[in-house]
Amino acid sequence: MRIGRVEIIVDYSWIVMFFVMLIITKSFFSQAYPDNTDLFYWMMGGISSVLIFLSVFVHELAHYFVATKYGIKTTSIRLHIFGGYQPVAQEPESGRQEFVIALAGWAANIVLGGFSLGIYSYFWLMQKVTPVAGIAACLLVANGLLAGLHMIPGFPLDGGRVLRAILWDRWNDIARATRVVSQIGNSLALFFIIFGILQFLLTQNLFSALFFFIGLFMKQSATGHYQTILQQHALGQVPVRQVMTEKVITVDWLIPVEELVQTYIYKHQCTHFPVFNQSELIGMVSLGGVKSVSRDLWTFKQVRDIMVPIEDVACVRPSDNASEVLKKMASENIELMPVMENGKLVGVVSRDDIINLFRIKTDLGTA
């Protein structure tokens, strides 16, 4: 699903958590509204679970709209039961921008919780026993829990982003602020994992398992987000020119695939090569293209038969930012990109080239 240019991705973890929420809400309705059928309880539980998911969706949309207002571009939103993750083209310009963006999702859950409270209060004052009031109660509790959960001061929750914004504004150092908040997030994640396991063993309550999933989510996301920020900080001012390979091994478009394998891939131990027709770059050939051809046809097929035309190849310029190029490579699963300047090939840059520079900077303490 897409909203404008933003792709909405539902994470696989939602499938597991959806059934957990379905069982919890079904149990609630069976106790709150006795003398109904199982079908009724499952339907009410299903409706409530879907609306809880929509609450998570609104939470992320609030982040998205505020970030867009500050000119921060988002390429996709990955949704899960505890919130979401939005890969952005750049970080906020200041801690104050980060603070406002982080609070937007929390505020959305507060508003939704208040709306649910209003509906529930109306039916309670009217003394009407209706499933709508039960659904409103579920949404009130869910949005309250989401708002409370996201105020935990650890990445990737909103509370962690708020704390990072405060530290960033105070220290004027996003890398240091991110490192501190990530360490807090990792510690809290470990606590939730252990607490969830112990609670489940003692009570056999599915609700206690939520703490375990929260811990896993925080652990994975905190580490990944810190690495992303560290890479952006280390490579933010590095142009592609600094990491690209200028001496490029090229192949002619008319050589057989067999010669490509024996003379180029085996000899140079490379998997990607620019393809030329005399002095014109016309495409890229890779190990994947070779594997798409039967071994028996290697002597008959030529490079031009398995190459990717240059029109379909993602290219970069020497002045492009290495961090942004690495992000593009990761999102589109690209291992190597040709570097073009004034319509001519001036080098190639690989994902390994950029990551190796990042590792060197990290080892030297300059990241």
Report residue 207's pLDDT band, with 50, 70 and 90 as the boundaries: low
Question: What gap in Å lies between CA 13 and CA 198, rounded to an integer?
Answer: 22
pTM summary value: 0.68
Q: Which single residue is written with the structure tokens 């810190």? A: 226
Angle of CA points 182, 186, 191, to nearest 5°? 145
Nearest alpha-carbon partner for 200 in 186, 214, 188: 214
- Give the CA dihedral 138, 139, 143, 148, nearest 10 degrees: -20
Q: Are 337 and 314 in contact (CB under 8 A)?
A: yes
Question: What gap in Å lies between CA 152 and CA 154, rounded to an integer?
Answer: 6
Residue type, 347: G
Q: What is the pLDDT of residue 20?
A: 78
Contacts of 358 (CB under 8 A, 6+ apart): 230, 231, 234, 235, 367
Residue 77: is its pLDDT beyond 90?
A: no
Q: Kindly report, residue by residue over 37-51, the tens digit of the pLDDT.
A: 999 999 999 999 899
- HEC states along 27-65? HHHHHHCCCCCHHHHHHHHHHHHHHHHHHHHHHHHHHHH
Q: Kindly report, residue by residue over 176-197, the tens digit of the pLDDT.
A: 888 888 888 888 888 988 988 8
- HEC states along the chain? CEECCEEEEECCHHHHHHHHHHHHHHHHHHHHCCCCCHHHHHHHHHHHHHHHHHHHHHHHHHHHHHHHHCCCCECEEEEECCEEECCECCCCCCHHHHHHHHHHHHHHHHHHHHHHHHHHHHHHHCCCCCHHHHHHHHHHHHHHHHHHHCCCCCCCCHHHHHHHHHHHHHHCCHHHHHHHHHHHHHHHHHHHHHHHHHHHHHHCCHHHHHHHHHHHHHHHHHHHHHHHHHHHHHHCCCEHHHHCECCCCCEECCCEHHHHHHHHHHHHCCCEEEEEECCEEEEEEEHHHHHCCCHHHCCCCEHHHHCEEHHHCCCECCCCEHHHHHHHHHHHCCCEEEEEECCEEEEEEEHHHHHHHHHHHHHHCCC
Residue 220: is its pLDDT beyond 60?
A: yes
Residue 347: is its pLDDT beyond 90?
A: yes
Mean pLDDT of 231-247: 85
Q: Kindly report, residue by residue over 84-99, the tens digit of the pLDDT.
A: 666 655 667 788 998 9
Report residue 115's pLDDT band, with 50, 70 and 90 as the boundaries: very high
| Cβ-count burial 300-318 (b if 16+ within 10 Å, e if not) | ebbbbebbbebeebeebeb
Q: What is the pLDDT of residue 143?
A: 93
Distance from chain centroid for Cα 108:
21
Q: What is the pLDDT of residue 114?
A: 95
The mean predicted confidence, pLDDT, of the chain is 86
Q: What is the pLDDT of residue 161?
A: 87
Q: Are 354 and 326 in contact (CB under 8 A)?
A: yes
Q: Kindly report, residue by residue over 286-325, the tens digit of the pLDDT.
A: 999 999 999 999 999 999 999 999 999 999 999 998 888 8
Q: What is the pLDDT of residue 90?
A: 62
Q: Kindly report, residue by residue over 118-166, the tens digit of the pLDDT.
A: 999 999 998 888 889 999 999 999 999 889 888 888 776 888 889 989 9
| % of the chain residues with pLDDT over 70 | 89
Q: Are 351 and 235 in contact (CB under 8 A)?
A: no
Q: Are 239 and 320 in contact (CB under 8 A)?
A: yes
Residue 60: is its pLDDT beyond 90?
A: no
Question: What gap in Å lies between CA 14 and CA 19, rounded to an integer?
Answer: 9
Angle of CA points 296, 302, 305, to nearest 5°? 100
